[in-house]
Amino acid sequence: MADYQTIRAGAGVHTGAVDAGLRAHMNKVYGTMSVGMAVTALVAWAVGSNDALLSLFRNPVTLQPNILGWIAMFLPLGMVFAFGAMINRLSAAGAQLFFYTFAAAMGLSISWIFAAFTGFSIAQTFLVTSISFAGLSLWGYTTKKDISAWGSFLIMGVIGLIVASIVNIFLGSPAIMFAISVLGVLIFAGLTAYDTQKIKTTYIQHARSMDSEWLGKAAIMGALNLYLDFINLFMFLLQFMGNRD
């Protein structure tokens, strides 16, 4: 990935216009992500704090998932892959609607945390995650260091986490869960900085075209990436900071 100033200078438009456009683009990314987080929190709380609703997906005592619970657990993963395959065929408005639908599905998937952990520890973990995420994202946005080389390594790490997590569903090993959580925090901390820099440089590389449709979809894709970084960072930190009910 080229240096930010080099990319900006080669964009073919006035640097002031690029900077103003970049600020608007990043505001759209963070704004869309924030609405998605609110949707997730609302759905998770509504289902997780209601025994009747939660029992549709999990045993309210053991919290073990039933058939619908397994579907809810893996639905967000399937939607991420579908979103990547469909993004070029969707309008910006369609992509935004898909993202918010995905955020609701994620809320359903993690709703069990409100039955498993105290509300205080969930709020505390959310605050710590928010502060950590903000610092990591700010560093990724402002650093002059090219961290694009982190991408392949981090994505391989995510794939390893998914495989290990699926295997441990059947093994139920606390030691493996602890290792997954430690690695998960490190990997998604790195991805937060990496994805933020990637959103920034991708915008600057395309600043010449000013294609509003592309910019709209690019902002939503950026919001999705940062949303996933935040949610995963939160869930892995909750394994350390969450107090069981």
53-67 mean pLDDT: 89
pLDDT greater at residue 71 or residue 4:
71
How many angstroms separate the CA atoms of 183 and 163, rounded?
Answer: 13
Supply the pLDDT for residue 88: 81
How many angstroms separate the CA atoms of 211 and 221, rounded?
Answer: 15
**SS3 at position 206:** coil
Phi/psi region, residue 12 (left: phi>0; alpha: psi -120 to 50; beta: rest), is left
Give the list of residues 6+ apart from residue 142 with CB closer than 8 angstroms, or none.
none
How many angstroms separate the CA atoms of 98 and 110, rounded?
Answer: 19
How many angstroms separate the CA atoms of 199 and 203, rounded?
Answer: 6
**Averaged confidence pLDDT in the chain:** 88
Domain range list for the chain: 4-241
128's tokens: 């710590």
How many angstroms separate the CA atoms of 156 and 160, rounded?
Answer: 6
pLDDT tens figures, 94-126: 999 999 999 999 999 999 999 999 999 999 999
pTM of the predicted protein model: 0.88
pLDDT tens figures, 158-210: 999 989 988 888 888 888 889 999 999 999 999 999 999 999 988 887 766 66
Residue 47's pLDDT band (cuts 50, 70, 90) = very high
39's tokens: 């949707």
Handedness of CA 177, 179, 181, 183 (dihedral sign): negative
How many angstroms separate the CA atoms of 18 and 12, rounded?
Answer: 10
Residue 2's pLDDT band (cuts 50, 70, 90) = very low
